[in-house]
Structure 1
Amino acid sequence: MNTSRSRGMTLGAPRSVALAVLLTVGAFTGAAPDARGEEARTETPVVSTNPVGGVTETLVRVRAPLPASFGARPAACDWLSYLRYRAAGGPADSADADRILVAQPGILEGAGAFDSVARNTVSRAAAQGQHIEFWALDRRSNCLEDRTGVASGDQHTAVDYYYRDKQVDGRTFDGYIGNGDLGWMAKLGIERTVRDQYDLLTAELPDQQLRKQKVLCGGHSLGGVITGYFATADFDGDRATTADAGHNQCAGYFALDTTVSTSLADLSGSIPDDTNLPDVGLGYGVVQAGLDSGVLSRTLSAPVLLNPETMTLLAITGLGALQDPDGETDLPRYLPDNTNIEVTNRFLFSEDTATFLSGSPAVKDFRLTNEAILGALMDDHSVPLAFLQSSVGFFDGGPVVDKNFPVANGSEEQPALFGSEYKAIPGQPGGPLYTWRNYDRVGDPDDPGYRSADGTPFTDAGKEVTDIQELARSMAEQPLDFTEQYFPTKLVTDIQMSTSPQIKRLVVHADGLTANPTLTVLAGDGLLAGRVPADLDPVVADGYQHLDVLTAAPTQNNGRPEPVSTNLTEFARDPGQGT
Structure 2
Amino acid sequence: MRGRVASAVCALLVGVSAASAAPAAAEPGRTESGYGSSSPVTSVISTVVTRDVPLPPTALPHPPECDRLSYLRWRSASGPSESAAADRILVAQPGIFEGAGAFDGVARNTVALAARFGIHLEFWALDRRSNCLEDHTGTRAALATGDLDTATGYYFGGAEVDGRRFAGYADGAATDWLRDQGLEQTLRDQYDLLRLELPDQRVRQRKLLCGGHSLGGFLTGYFAGWDFDGNPATTDDAGYNQCGGWFALDTVIRVGLGLRGIDIPAIPPEIAGGVENLSLQLDTALPVLRLPAVINPETTNLLALAGLAARLAPDGVNDLVSRLPDNPNIDLTLRTLLSQNAAAFLTGSPDARDLTATNEAVLGALLDDNSQPLGFLQASTGFVTGGPTGPKDFPLPDAIARGPLGFGGFGDAPKVSPTRYSPDTVYRWLDWDEVTASTSPATNPGSEVTSIAQLARTLCEPPLDFTEWYFPSRIAFDLQQTTAPSITAHHLHPRGIDTLPMLTLQGSGGIPLPDSGSPLDTRIELAGYNHLDLVTADPDSRRDGSPEPVSARLVEFATR
Same fold (TM over 0.5): yes
Q: Does 1:552 align with 2:537?
A: yes
CA contact (8 A) 2:502 2:522 kept: no
Partners of 2:70 and 2:260 lie apart in 1 by: 26
What is the match of residue 193 of structure 2?
200
Greater Cα offset, 563-572 or 506-515: 506-515
**CA distance 1:500–1:50, change in 2 (3 Å):** same
What is the match of residue 145 of structure 1?
134
What is the match of residue 463 of structure 1?
447
Cα offset for 1:515?
1.4
CA contact (8 A) 1:462 1:558 kept: no
- What CA deviation, in whole Å up to 9, does each residue of 1:243-266 have, x standing for no partner? 111111101111111111111114
- Matched AA of 1:183: D
What is the match of residue 243 of structure 1?
236
- What CA deviation, in whole Å up to 9, does each residue of 1:355-387 have, x standing for no partner? 111111112211100100000001010010110
Could you say what secondary structure the match of 1:542 adopts? strand
Cα offset for 1:228?
1.0
**CA distance 1:68–1:48, change in 2 (3 Å):** same
Could you say what secondary structure the match of 2:137 adopts? coil
- Matched AA of 2:460: A
Partners of 1:196 and 1:162 lie apart in 2 by: 30
- Matched AA of 1:539: I
Could you say what secondary structure the match of 2:528 adopts? coil
What is the match of residue 566 of structure 1?
552
Could you say what secondary structure the match of 1:250 adopts? coil
- Matched AA of 2:78: G
- In structure 1, the gaps of 5 or more residues are 1-24, 30-36, 270-279, 451-456, 575-579
Once the two structures are superposed, the pairs formed by residues 176-255 of structure 1 within 5 Å of their partners are 176-255=169-248
For residue 325 of structure 1, the aligned residue among 302, 306, 314 is 314
**CA distance 1:367–1:290, change in 2 (3 Å):** closer
Once the two structures are superposed, the pairs formed by residues 69-80 of structure 1 within 5 Å of their partners are 69-80=58-69
For residue 392 of structure 2, the aligned residue among 395, 403, 406 is 403
- In structure 2, the gaps of 5 or more residues are 1-19, 263-271
- Matched AA of 1:410: A
Partners of 2:544 and 2:503 lie apart in 1 by: 23
Partners of 1:56 and 1:562 lie apart in 2 by: 20
Cα offset for 1:82?
0.3
CA contact (8 A) 1:349 1:362 kept: no
Cα offset for 1:472?
0.6
Partners of 2:156 and 2:486 lie apart in 1 by: 42
Partners of 2:544 and 2:97 lie apart in 1 by: 31
What is the match of residue 21 of structure 1?
none
- What CA deviation, in whole Å up to 9, does each residue of 1:448-489 have, x standing for no partner? x23xxxxxx100001100011011111011101101100010
Could you say what secondary structure the match of 1:133 adopts? strand
CA contact (8 A) 2:228 2:490 kept: no
Partners of 1:519 and 1:415 lie apart in 2 by: 24
Could you say what secondary structure the match of 2:453 adopts? helix
Q: Percent identity?
A: 49
What is the match of residue 94 of structure 1?
83
- What CA deviation, in whole Å up to 9, does each residue of 1:26-67 have, x standing for no partner? xxx9xxxxxxx9940000011111001210000000110001
Could you say what secondary structure the match of 2:163 adopts? coil
Partners of 1:322 and 1:290 lie apart in 2 by: 39
Partners of 1:531 and 1:242 lie apart in 2 by: 26
- Matched AA of 1:156: D
What is the match of residue 408 of structure 2?
416
What is the match of residue 453 of structure 1?
none
Once the two structures are superposed, the pairs formed by residues 238-317 of structure 1 within 5 Å of their partners are 238-266=231-259, 283-291=275-283, 294=284, 296-317=285-306
Q: Does 1:158 align with 2:142?
A: no
For residue 522 of structure 2, the aligned residue among 534, 537, 555 is 537
Q: Does 1:64 align with 2:85?
A: no
Partners of 2:517 and 2:380 lie apart in 1 by: 25
Greater Cα offset, 344-353 or 202-211: 344-353
**CA distance 1:230–1:268, change in 2 (3 Å):** farther
Partners of 1:531 and 1:237 lie apart in 2 by: 28
For residue 360 of structure 2, the aligned residue among 354, 371, 376 is 371
CA contact (8 A) 1:252 1:518 kept: yes
For residue 515 of structure 1, the aligned residue among 471, 478, 499 is 499
Cα offset for 1:410?
2.3
**CA distance 1:289–1:406, change in 2 (3 Å):** closer
Once the two structures are superposed, the pairs formed by residues 463-502 of structure 1 within 5 Å of their partners are 463-502=447-486
Cα offset for 1:183?
1.8
**CA distance 1:282–1:161, change in 2 (3 Å):** farther
Partners of 1:327 and 1:436 lie apart in 2 by: 12
For residue 104 of structure 2, the aligned residue among 102, 109, 115 is 115
What is the match of residue 527 of structure 1?
511
Cα offset for 1:289?
3.2
CA contact (8 A) 2:252 2:513 kept: no
Partners of 1:514 and 1:530 lie apart in 2 by: 16
Could you say what secondary structure the match of 1:466 adopts? coil
Cα offset for 1:232?
0.6
CA contact (8 A) 1:179 1:299 kept: no
- Matched AA of 1:418: F
Cα offset for 1:500?
2.0
Partners of 1:470 and 1:268 lie apart in 2 by: 34
Could you say what secondary structure the match of 2:161 adopts? coil
Partners of 1:117 and 1:513 lie apart in 2 by: 24
**CA distance 1:320–1:268, change in 2 (3 Å):** farther
Q: Does 1:381 align with 2:370?
A: yes
